């Protein structure tokens, strides 16, 4: 099929909205036939809004499955809502399609988006679709709600608080590095087991937002944020708002079996694990008196949490301590766009 024929078969903007996105529309979206959506906020609740942009060749590869690209775009926003303790209400989608988009690609994208929209009870409320001379760009604004005054802030950590993190750290960053290093023929990628490689690649492609923890965070956390740019850098941001420090033993950082296998093959990957980002786990600060209750509540939610540090006064930020007692000197603490 020629490019001209393919272009002729593409639906118009109105047709693609009706075919692919209108079936995802929630109450208040008016079937995506209006210029705006309406959203009723319940008495005694605050709205929580968050936005993430994803760009091809920056946040995902052009040849990643379109359904997984869509799911990742929604999930990274749901991760932000979860860290704030918010229940999702819906989302707005901005989609800038490159010149070579196809109807089949868009159909698969919409199916993936619809699958997660239903699974996480977060319906599409509206948005905009354009064509761009640049790369595929996806913008999602997610909207959630918390009881009035109940949003868990990023600031608010106190000296003596215990820092917890959900899940495991470093898998996604290792999955990205695996793809780059495999193309370059790095030896650790060839020695890594197929099961470990599949796990790491999958974690990069499809994060797991810790939505089940939101109630526990509202009840027990002084502060929380999701780990998107890198464990070290994001923890430093949270501590910096209160001019606090934390010493993190690298042995306390929760790692998957796949990450441990990769690290055994290439010890220098520890920096990728600690600073690479794309984890979409949740960091939170818990007062000493609330530790037991928080751990019990998280267990009841089915969410694994690990205590990684205790905060103390001083502006030293995050100190990573090796088993030898030596403080690691890292080139940077997180991914930075600029």
Extract the annotated binding site.
Answer: 35, 50, 52, 59, 80, 127-128, 154, 226, 228-229, 278, 335
Tally Cβ neighbours within 10 Å of residue 290: 17
Binding site for substrate: which residues?
Answer: 59, 278, 335
Binding site for ATP: which residues?
Answer: 127-128, 154, 228
Q: Nearest-CA neighbor of 142 among 214, 221, 73, 66?
A: 73
Binding site for Mg(2+): which residues?
Answer: 35, 50, 52, 80, 128, 226, 229
Assign 3-class secondary structure to the chain: CCHHHHHHHCCCHHHHHHHHHHHHECCCCHHHCCCCCCCCCCCCEEEEEEEEEEEECCCECCCCCHHHHHHHHHHHHHHHHHHCCCEEEEEEEEEEECCCCCHHHHHHHHHHHHHHHHHCCCCEEEEEEEECCCCCEEEEEEEEEEECCCCCCCCCCCCCCEEEEECCCCHHHHHHHHHHHHHCCCHHHHHCCHHHHHHHHHHHHCCCCCHHHHHHHHHHEEEEEECCCCHHHHHHHHHHCCCEEEEEEHHHCCCCHHHHHHHHHCHHHHHHHHHCCCCCCEEEEECHHHHHHHHHHHHHHCCCEEEEEEEEECCCCEEEECCCCCECCCCCCCCCCC
Q: Which tokens go with 164?
A: 């917890």
């Amino acid at each position: 099929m020629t490019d001209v024929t393919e272009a002729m078969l593409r639906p118009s903007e109105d047709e693609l909205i009706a075919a692919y996105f209108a079936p995802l529309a929630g109450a208040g979206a008016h079937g995506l036939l209006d210029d705006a959506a309406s959203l009723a906020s319940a008495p005694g609740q605050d709205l929580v809004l968050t936005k993430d942009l994803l760009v091809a060749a920056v946040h995902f590869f052009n040849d990643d499955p379109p359904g997984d690209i869509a799911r990742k775009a929604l999930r990274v926003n749901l991760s932000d809502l979860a860290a704030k303790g918010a229940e999702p209400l819906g989302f707005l989608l901005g989609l800038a399609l490159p010149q070579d988009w196809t109807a089949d690609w868009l159909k698969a994208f919409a199916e993936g988006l619809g699958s997660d929209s239903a699974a996480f009870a977060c319906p599409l409320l509206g948005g905009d679709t354009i064509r761009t001379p640049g790369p595929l760009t996806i913008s999602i604004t997610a909207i959630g709600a918390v009881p009035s005054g109940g949003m868990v802030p990023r600031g608010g950590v106190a000296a003596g608080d215990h820092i917890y993190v959900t899940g495991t750290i470093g898998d996604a960053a290792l999955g990205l590095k695996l793809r780059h290093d495999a193309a370059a023929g790095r030896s650790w990628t060839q020695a890594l087991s197929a099961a470990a490689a599949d796990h790491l690649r999958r974690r990069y492609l499809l994060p797991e937002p810790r939505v089940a923890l939101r109630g526990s965070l509202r009840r027990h956390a002084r502060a929380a944020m999701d780990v998107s740019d890198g464990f070290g850098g994001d923890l430093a941001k949270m501590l910096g708002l209160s001019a606090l420090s934390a010493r993190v033993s690298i042995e306390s950082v929760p790692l998957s079996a796949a990450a441990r296998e990769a690290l055994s093959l290439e010890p220098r990957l520890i920096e990728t694990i600690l600073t690479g980002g794309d984890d979409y786990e949740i960091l939170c600060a818990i007062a000493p008196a609330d530790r037991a209750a928080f751990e019990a509540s998280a267990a009841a939610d089915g969410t694994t949490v690990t205590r990684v540090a205790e905060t103390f006064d001083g502006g030293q930020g995050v100190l990573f301590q090796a088993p030898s007692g030596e403080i690691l000197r890292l080139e940077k603490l997180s991914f930075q766009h600029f």
